[in-house]
Amino acid sequence: MTTIARTRAELAARTDPLPGTVALVPTMGALHEGHRALIRHAREIAAHVVVSIFVNPLQFGAGEDLDRYPRTLDADLEVCAAERVDAVFAPAVGEMYPVSNEITVGAGRMGAIAEGASRPGHFDGMLTVVMKLFQIVTPDVAVFGEKDAQQLALIRRMVSDLNLRVEVIGFPTVREPDGLALSSRNRYLSAAERGTALALSRALRAGAGRAGAGSAAVLAAARTVLDEAMKAEPPLDPDYLVLVDPATFEEVAGEYAGPAVLAVAGRVGATRLIDNQPLVLTVPQEV
pLDDT of residue 101: 79
Active site residue 48: no
> What mean pLDDT comes out for the span 248-257?
93
pLDDT of residue 286: 60
245 has binding-site annotation? no
Rounded Cα distance between 176 and 222, Å, is 20
**CATH no. for 186-281:** 3.30.1300.10
pLDDT of residue 261: 98
Q: Residue 28 above 90 pLDDT?
A: yes
Average pLDDT, the chain: 96
Contact between 28 and 54 under an 8 Å Cβ cutoff? The reply is yes
Q: What are 50's strand-pairing partners?
A: 24, 87
Contact between 30 and 72 under an 8 Å Cβ cutoff? The reply is yes
154 has binding-site annotation? no
Query: Could you say which of 35, 41, 48, 122 is catalytic?
Result: 35
285 has binding-site annotation? no
> What mean pLDDT comes out for the span 46-74?
95
Task: Give 42's contacts (C-beta < 8 A, 6+ positions apart).
Answer: 23, 24, 25, 49, 141, 143
Concatenating the DSSP letter of every residue in 28-93 gives -S---HHHHHHHHHHHHH-SEEEEEE---GGG--TTSSTTTS---HHHHHHHHHHTT-SEEE---H
Q: What are 279's strand-pairing partners?
A: 260
- Report pTM: 0.95
Domain boundaries, the chain: 3-171, 186-281
Mind listing the pLDDT tens digit for each residue in 253-277?
888 999 999 999 999 999 999 999 9
111 has binding-site annotation? no
Mind listing the pLDDT tens digit for each residue in 166-211?
999 999 999 999 999 999 999 999 999 999 999 999 999 999 999 9
pLDDT of residue 285: 65
Largest CA distance in the chain: 67
254 has binding-site annotation? no
First to last CA, the chain: 64
Mind listing the pLDDT tens digit for each residue in 81-112?
999 999 999 999 999 999 887 899 999 999 99
CATH architecture of 3-171: 3-Layer(aba) Sandwich (3.40)
